[in-house]
Amino acid sequence: MRAVRRAALAILLCAAPVVVASAHASTGPMDRVALREVLRQHARASARGSIRLPLPEAPRASAAAANAGELGAIARAAGSTRVLVGVRDHGDLPGVARELRLLGAAPEAFTTIGVLAATVPSGAALVDALRADPRVAYIERDRELQAAADPFDALDPATGIKFTWAYDDVRAGDALLAAGGGSRRTVAVIDTGLDVTHPEFLGRVARTLDTASGTSDVSDSVGHGTFVSGLISAIDGNNIGGKGVAGNTQLIAVNAERTCTDGSRGCFSVGDVVRGIEFAIQSGADVLNMSLAGEGFTRSQARALEAAFFNDVLPVAASGNNAQRPQSPNPLEFPAAAIGGQRGGRGIGLSVAATMPNGVVAPFSNHNDFVSLAAPGASDRSCEFGVFSTLPANQPTEWDVPSSCSRVLVDASGARFAYGEGTSFAAPIASGIAALIWEVEARLASEQVAEVLTATARQRAGGGWNEFTGTGIVDGLAASARARVYDVTAPRARGTARRRGNRVSVRVGRSVDRTASGHELAGNVTYSLLVSRDGGQTFDLVRNPRPRPFTASVALRGRRRNAIVSTACDGNGNCGIKRLGRFRAR
């Protein structure tokens, strides 16, 4: 049985729990891990993985014949030289890497494309060693590229800090380097729409939906959705505007906005939000950004978030902006409070607070037991400033009304940008970094991505969790490093089943946790037993997760075959599954 892995679902303090899959199933965290993995395997849901470039290449005489001029330049280079070595077949990577190490290099393998990157002490020695090696398709210099400086990727003279300070504050550049410049994961933004004609989003919008009309027209008359999307994926180096933290990452834009009951703009109905979540899931979204909040939480919201959980989609939401509200300040707001883990524990997503450039939480940012972490979202001076992002080009927005305090800027191309404040703008920064972390380690489950981010967040003062900034400010560099060693390997589940009349005697065997070389070991294996009496559509827990193997007797019921499954899950929520048989009651 193929082992798969997932992490735990939070125990929520709200009246409507996120998990409602089975009437008889427990709603404890590790219960849901085992249940989800069994359901996913029964549905034959395939795990995503990177596709390697098809190799081998057509044979040539040697690397020298392929690029003699380049080899000459490498051989003539003085001192150490950075090179890229392409192998003919993926199986050649280890052998060629050994040759590079013998030359004094520390090669890095790009296994997707069959390339080794290295700095060699001598270009001449490299050429002599590898020019006739039949495993080598080519050798080339690792050339330096000049980035085009965007006009707002510079100091704002009005503040003395960069317009794009939020990008630097979460070390997005380091995360982008680790992820190769972007992510193959897709971020869905459920918001007020998107100006898809804005030059900062050229080629970065995968799908769109207007929930009201059912069409693909997501014109943004509020500006909020365009601003949020720019923080995630605005193009860097195009000589326009600023840059998004997730680099070359695709967006799914959902306009779920409606006119508010008081006639103002920027409100959302639960139905439209749920419709947007369903569209995002069906469209293959991996991260779900919800820069929206409200004090009510409904069963429909719970079902939508549960669907995201079972489809391995990571929801990220703004914690709320009402900490200083005159009446009833600092309310518990959803969906953030439904997805953030309690007091820094595991949740199904991330509740994001807003911080200022000095690292202090913004005064307006809601604080409670479900704040997961924080990201830039406010100014430490006037409301004129904050974080910097995109606005619709030819559409009046909320930034343009006389009461708006935010500063609006226009570049030479006529594209519009602005400052903004709010946890709404902290959430997309966390979403963008989450997409990059998933690129660094594609085998992470959605909740494991959240755990990597919370475990590596940078706390301004002291350590641990607090209700204002959660575990701290998102740190792309630290999260990338942690993702590379995170245990994503499941224990092997063991067990046997023997029928005796209309009962099945089950013995769940002990499993030893395991991990990949150089990775952490999660440990803390727990065992559970599940049964389906409807052909695998639903499962009930016969034995909740427990720290020791056990025996159990399962009664056979109903007209259909009863499928019995045992699980072994480690502390990271990586679950191995063993199908013990299918039995029909007599």
Run of H or E residues at 353? strand 350-355
The amino acid occupying position 292 is L
- Asked if pLDDT for residue 50 goes beyond 70, the answer is no
Instruction: Dihedral sign for Cα 329, 332, 333, 339, please.
Output: positive
Provide, for the chain, the percentages of residues in helix, strand and coil under a 3-state DSSP scheme, each rounded to the nearest 5.
Answer: 25, 25, 50
Confidence of residue 133 (pLDDT cuts 50, 70, 90): very high
Q: Annotate 169-233 with DSSP letters as a single string.
A: HTTHHHHHHHHTSEEEEEEEEEEB---TTSGGGTT-EEEEEETTTSSS----SSSHHHHHHHHHH
Report for 60-64, 65-69, 392-396: range of highest mean pLDDT: 392-396
Confidence of residue 143 (pLDDT cuts 50, 70, 90): low
Run of H or E residues at 475? none
Residue 163 is given by DSSP the state: T
Residue found by looking up tokens 């947007």 in the block: 276
pLDDT confidence of residue 93: 84
Structure tokens given for 327 = 């009446």
- 350-379 average pLDDT score: 96
Confidence of residue 40 (pLDDT cuts 50, 70, 90): low
C-alpha pair distances (Å), 79 with each of 118, 130, 136 = 14, 18, 23
Confidence of residue 30 (pLDDT cuts 50, 70, 90): low
Confidence of residue 156 (pLDDT cuts 50, 70, 90): confident
Closest CA to 435 of 265, 225, 201, 182: 182
Q: Which residue has the higher pLDDT, 61 or 36?
A: 36
Total Cβ atoms within 10 A of residue 50: 9
- Omega before 94 cis (within 30°)? no
Residues 6+ apart with CB under 8 A from 508: 494, 495, 527, 529, 543, 549, 550, 551, 552, 566
Confidence of residue 332 (pLDDT cuts 50, 70, 90): very high
Closest CA to 199 of 162, 233, 225, 246: 233
- Asked if pLDDT for residue 309 goes beyond 60, the answer is yes
Say if residue 559 is exposed, middle or buried (CB neighbours under 10 Å; 0-12, 13-18, 19+): exposed
Structure tokens given for 545 = 């997760």
> Helices in 77-140 by DSSP H: which ranges?
93-102, 123-130
- Asked if pLDDT for residue 308 goes beyond 90, the answer is no
Closest CA to 36 of 306, 330, 288: 306
Confidence of residue 11 (pLDDT cuts 50, 70, 90): very low
Asked if residues 313 and 280 have their Cβ atoms less than 8 Å apart, the reply is yes
pLDDT confidence of residue 196: 96
Confidence of residue 340 (pLDDT cuts 50, 70, 90): very high
Residues 6+ apart with CB under 8 A from 165: 357, 376, 387, 388
Q: Which residue has the higher pLDDT, 45 or 142?
A: 142
- Asked if pLDDT for residue 52 goes beyond 50, the answer is no
Residue 398 is given by DSSP the state: G
In 392-493 the beta strands, taken as DSSP E runs, fall at 408-410, 416-420
Total Cβ atoms within 10 A of residue 106: 11
Tell me what the pLDDT averaged over the chain comes to.
85
Run of H or E residues at 547? none
The amino acid occupying position 166 is A
- Omega before 335 cis (within 30°)? yes
Total Cβ atoms within 10 A of residue 98: 11
- Asked if pLDDT for residue 45 goes beyond 50, the answer is no
pLDDT tens column, 235-255? 998 888 889 999 999 999 999
Supply the pTM of this predicted model: 0.77
Residues 6+ apart with CB under 8 A from 415: 198, 199, 200, 240, 241, 390, 393
Closest CA to 180 of 252, 238, 129, 108: 108
d(CA 26, CA 104): 57
- 409-416 average pLDDT score: 86
> Helices in 235-297 by DSSP H: which ranges?
270-282
- Asked if pLDDT for residue 540 goes beyond 80, the answer is yes
Q: Annotate 16-69 with DSSP letters as a single string.
A: S-S--S-TTS---HHHHHHHHHHHHHHTTPPPP-PPPPP-PPPP-S-HHHH-HH
308, HSE (Cβ side, Cα atoms, 13 Å): 35
Among 9-23, 47-61, 530-544, name the one with the lowest average pLDDT.
9-23
pLDDT tens column, 63-105? 555 567 788 888 888 888 878 788 888 788 899 999 999 999 9
pLDDT confidence of residue 14: 25
Among 107-121, 245-259, 278-292, 386-400, name the one with the lowest average pLDDT.
107-121
Run of H or E residues at 496? strand 494-500
Q: Which residue has the higher pLDDT, 272 or 579?
A: 579
